[in-house]
Structures are given as C-alpha cells and as structure tokens.
Structure 1
C-alpha cells in the first residue's frame, strides 16, 4: 500500500480565493495593490502540518488494517470452498457461492466508504490550520496595504498566471505566525485510498473496484 499522500487543497482554495479580502472604503480610495501567496507552501511550513499528516496516516492505517482483515477472512473461505466444492451438493454449493458473493460486496462497499471517510477526516484536520492561515493572510494584507490576495498554488489550478515577485506575501504570512520560512517540500495533494482491489468470489462476475492513486 502506498504511503499516505495528504492535503488536497480544494478546501483551501475555496477558503482563500473566493472573494478574499474585500476592499474597505478607505482602500477603495487608495491605489489598487494585489498580492498572492502559495497556500500549499505556507501550509507545509506550519507546525500543524506534521501533526495532521501523522493523524491522517494513523487513520489510513486503521482503515487498511480493517480491509486486510476482511480480505483475509474472505480468502480463507474461498480456499475452503475450493477444497470442498467437489464433495458439496448443488444446494450447498450454491448457498456457499452466494455467501462468498455477499462477503465480496461487503468488502467493496467498505472500500468505497473508507475512501470517503478518509477525505472527510482530512478536511476536519485541515480546517483549524486553514482558519489560522486565513486570519494571518488578512493581517498581513491589511498591514501591507494589499487590496486583494490570490492563491498561486501550482498544486491545483492556479488563479494567478503571472505576477512580480514583490507581490508574494507567503513569507510575510509565515513570519506573522512566528515561522521562519524554510525550504520544505510543498505538501502533495490527494489522500491515497486505504483499500486495495477487492478479491473476487468464485462463481461470480469479476468486477474490480478502482483505487485512487
């Protein structure tokens, strides 16, 4: 199973780019000043990021362990069926195959709900950090006279395609939070699925559950 890849910043983009920092009447009379920040870069520097990553990985591992347990149980029953099917009556054989189909479907459903649960957990863990980031962006923008601030994060669809370097307030935001800007790699987006492809029961059509990478 791949290690957890966290921090899809759909939520961050929604919080930090949809009408961020509406101009006050005083600002409206001043020259327009536009700034930008790389949300992913700033998040990667925050102390909260390591804790969030750790908690999300733990949760992912728990889901993966549950899936592995369910899959092992299923595979054991499949082997037992394969060994005994030659001596089973048609009625017993049909009942056993139905039971294996039910277990297979249960595993596939668990896989789907686990993926959804992992994404919800990610959003819950991220929200306090995003709220803190938004607050400090507001403070930096007010103190430095920026009328609007855009997200230049290249991890998704950037809303800023060109701008002068002196418009980048990322390091100012980090300093406002008491963080010395460093060179940590930006957080990668997209939580990995905790589930692998569900096993297939004998006597049923082979349907595979897609896993996200």
Structure 2
C-alpha cells in the first residue's frame, strides 16, 4: 500500500508530460480560390504584370529597331558613328534590363504590389485559421498548400471547411459545428 502512495505522485507528475498535442491542417490554396477578394486582387496583379511585360516588350522592339537601322545604314556610317550608335544600343539595353529588374526583380514593383494586395486577404485567412485553432483547441495548424511535405493526411484533421465557414464562405448545406 505504501508503494502505491509513493508511486501515485510519480505517475501524476509524469502524466502531465504525456498530454497528446492536437493538430490540424488547412488548404490555403482551396480557401483562397473560394474568396472573391483574392480573385479580385489576383486579377489586378495579372493586369499589372501584363502592362509591365508589354512595356518591356515594346522597349526591346525599340532596341531591335535601332539595331536594324544600324545594319541598314552601316555602309554609310563612319567607324566613329557606328561606335556611337552601338553605344546607344548598349545603353538602351542596359536601361531595359535595369527597368525589368526594378519591376520584376527581388523586392521589385511587382513583388511589392502583390504583397500589398495580398496582405489583407492573407491576414483574413490567418485570423480565421487562428480562431478555428483556438475554438478546436489545436496546438498546431499546418498549411497543406505550403512547402511542408505531407505524404498522408487524414481528412479528420482537415479544418479547411471550418476556416471557410469562419470567413463566411462555407457551404450553407454543410453541417459542421
């Protein structure tokens, strides 16, 4: 009997550490595809991208035209004039490369605009995911769409529909509570 009373506190103490952690996952790609504000932001981003790409394409056409003009007039030009024209073409090429980098490079205009437009949408998703996690007492919430490799996922742990419901985009016929 003494042994039981001595071991009981020991089991109670170590029992605290055996608490299983609860986890779940969501699919942000699916959630975002259901959100009209994401589609709107994505449309604006696509339009900006097309505009900037066409500007850059036009600049390259100008360079090509300058080069074609040089080739057509090459026999009439002095070596100094030819060198000057080649320098102009080279300068124009550098300007286009710099502009391309400024727009589409790391931390470029495209990246910053995309970040600006997507930030409110993503914050909304993350807030809903956090609320669902707290309501369901989850210790961890993973994103199936992220680079985290999930070889197998049990649908029991999928909280995507809960997050959609929290955002107000859930299926009215769905009966998850």
Indicate the residue corresponding to 2:4 in structure 1.
none
SS of residue paired to 1:150: strand
Indicate the residue corresponding to 1:78 in structure 2.
67
List gaps (5 residues or longer) in structure 2.
1-16, 172-177
Indicate the residue corresponding to 1:48 in structure 2.
37
1:65 and 1:163, CA in 2 relative to 1: closer, same or farther beyond 3 A? closer
TM-score by length of 1: 0.65
What does residue range 81-160 of structure 1 map to in structure 2 within 5 Å?
A: 81-116=70-105, 117-153=109-145, 156-160=146-150
Q: Is the 8 A contact 1:150 1:159 kept in 2?
A: no
Q: Distance in 2 between matches of 1:30 and 1:179?
A: 34
Q: Runs (4+) of structure 1 moved beyond 6 Å?
A: none
- The number of residues matched between the two structures is 152
What's the CA shift string for 1:22-79, capped at 9, x where partnerless?
Answer: xxxxxx9975211111122111111212111111011112211211221222222112
Indicate the residue corresponding to 1:168 in structure 2.
158
Deviation of the 1:87 alpha carbon: 0.8
Q: Distance in 2 between matches of 1:78 and 1:31?
A: 70
Deviation of the 1:121 alpha carbon: 1.8
SS of residue paired to 2:25: strand
TM-score by length of 2: 0.77
List gaps (5 residues or longer) in structure 1.
1-27, 182-213
Q: Is the 8 A contact 1:150 1:160 kept in 2?
A: no
Q: Whose radius of gyration is greater, 1 or 2?
A: 2
Q: Distance in 2 between matches of 1:105 and 1:66?
A: 15
Indicate the residue corresponding to 1:33 in structure 2.
22
What's the CA shift string for 1:88-138, capped at 9, x where partnerless?
Answer: 111111111111111112112222222132222222211111110111011
Q: Is the 8 A contact 1:36 1:168 kept in 2?
A: yes
1:81 and 1:93, CA in 2 relative to 1: closer, same or farther beyond 3 A? same
